[in-house]
Amino acid sequence: MKSAFSITLSGISKFYPGVVALDNVDLGISGGEIVGLIGENGAGKSTLMKVLGGSIAPDRGTIEIDGERLQSLTPAEATARGIAFVHQELNSFTNLDVTANILLGREIVRGPFRSLDRKAMRDAVRPILQMLDAPFGPDDLVSELSLAEQQLLEIARALSIDARLVIMDEPSSSLTLSETNRLLDVVRGLKSRNVAVLFISHRLNEIEAIADRVVVLRDGKNAGELTGDEIRRDRMISLMIGRDLNQFYEKRAHNRQEPILELKDVATRAYPNARANLTVYKGEILGLAGLVGAGRTELARAAFGIDPVVHGEILLDGKPLAPMSVGNAIRRGMCLVPEDRKGEGLHLDFSVTDNIALPSLSKLSRHGAVVHSQELALAEKSRDRLGIKTASVNNAAAELSGGNQQKIVIAKWLAMEPKLLIVDEPTRGIDVGAKSEVYHVLQALADQGVGILMISSDMEEVIGVSNRVAVMCEGKIAGILPSDELTEHRILSLAVA
């Protein structure tokens, strides 16, 4: 049993030019307690975590650990006091193996030349991987791990320092349902060993399942606290956004129009022997559901021309999409919002304006030169249209919250006036308020006659937003459900068929 642990943050404030990131925030947590920390993107959660981790110092307030009062921490001091992080963003070195990543900076050495004791390091890592039921071993290269497995690796690294407080920032964002359930079991195991866990997640069902107490931030301030039976989705949403979200999902009846996208016996490299048949109609939101690995993203990438179509035919607006290429897909009116917005959808170092204007440069140019005033006008129009929260459209995309980054990716394609929009996990990693805004945008596009193919692993989202749902299983469409037959049971039954 670990010794008693407690940490209290009192009156924490942090100011940046023109921005109050934290305003007199209080937070306390003790050993053996699981505290959920929630709030919209930009509410101050990340800044508060940086204060806890020692990467920034607060301008006001104190940090008290086991009765010792401090003005701030350094990263080394935070680690020495048993504060460990599981970050949402992957920080692995893909050219190293699992053991080297977990024990990076804390390698076990032997002999006068202090050579690495690989056996001892593997022996130290193996029990942690077993505790997580990780599907990889100490010697596996990180480059060969999936995103979900790399997320488990991040958790293993945090657990390896014998932590007294584990801060988990969206730890399940890349995990399957079974992996998420395993993660929650790990969190409960930490609690039983008297470890404190600060669990940050936009998935409110996870907070309901795991938290003893919930602390809510809004606009850099404490918005409220919930305990026990008070921890309910409606209460959490109300505190997060300052109002009741009466109509969270927007879904209107769809009168079937002409097909905009038709996939006929399409096979991808992931499932070369399977055949997928699918039709998206103008003005509808067709949800594409299925288990992780069912081939949904691969099908979208093939339709958009990123990956080859092994077999079959793709029709866009009634005509074959040939030759198959991203450029041709865009010219014909198809756009794709990718699953990995930071890796594939944005240039983080570019400004909001540059990101939004990038696909439209030919329209914004005169005599081969980009007209900057037109770029700015497009960015400002997009900011107003989608409610992108930024002090200036000249700010770098990296400075914006996850929800606003997602809006930038959507905005750059809306500027192309698409006929068909494919969105892959459109609300992954963004808060509940931003989710509602994204749903509103998608429904508005559908109202204008745009066909939307929405890939999502969020069952509530699929049911709440889609007019119909196609379910994939091992590269083929196992079934298509109309709106009045959309239930979690029906979708899962097809997903495992």
Please check whether residue 102 lies inside any domain of the structure.
Answer: yes
What pLDDT, on the 0 to 100 scale, is given for residue 1? 47
Asked if residue 267 and residue 190 are part of one domain, the reply reads: no
Structural domains of the chain, count? 2
Low-confidence ranges of the chain (pLDDT < 50): 1, 245
What pLDDT, on the 0 to 100 scale, is given for residue 245? 46
Asked if residue 183 and residue 309 are part of one domain, the reply reads: no
What pLDDT, on the 0 to 100 scale, is given for residue 182? 79
Please check whether residue 276 lies inside any domain of the structure.
Answer: yes
Asked if residue 175 and residue 90 are part of one domain, the reply reads: yes
What pLDDT, on the 0 to 100 scale, is given for residue 400? 86
Last residue of a domain, one of 196, 215, 241: 241
Sign of CA dihedral 362, 367, 368, 369: negative
Per-residue DSSP letter, 3: P
Q: pTM higher than 0.75 for the full model?
A: no
Please check whether residue 138 lies inside any domain of the structure.
Answer: yes
Sign of CA dihedral 42, 43, 49, 50: positive
Which regions of 77-192 does DSSP assign to beta strands (E)?
83-86, 109-110, 115-116, 165-169
Q: Which helix (H) or strand (E) holds 264?
A: strand 259-267
Which residues span the domain enclosing 290?
Answer: 259-333+418-495
Nearest-10 Cα torsion for 243, 249, 253, 254: 130
Angle, helices 233-241/432-447, rounded to nearest 10 degrees: 90
Please check whether residue 54 lies inside any domain of the structure.
Answer: yes
What pLDDT, on the 0 to 100 scale, is given for residue 167? 92
What pLDDT, on the 0 to 100 scale, is given for residue 198? 95
Last residue of a domain, one of 193, 214, 241: 241
Asked if residue 231 and residue 155 are part of one domain, the reply reads: yes
What pLDDT, on the 0 to 100 scale, is given for residue 4? 76
Please check whether residue 361 lies inside any domain of the structure.
Answer: no
Question: What DSSP string runs through 298-325?
Answer: HHHHHHHTSS---EEEEEETTEE--S--
CATH assignment at residue 441:
3.40.50.300
Per-residue DSSP letter, 140: S
How many other β-carbons are positioned within 10 Å of the β-carbon of residue 68?
A: 8
CA angle 274, 278, 279 (to 5 degrees): 165
Report the alpha-carbon distance of residue 493 to residue 497 in Å, rounded.
6
Last residue of a domain, one of 211, 241, 271: 241
Report the candidate in 332, 329, 274, 300 with the shortest Cα–Cα distance to residue 425: 300
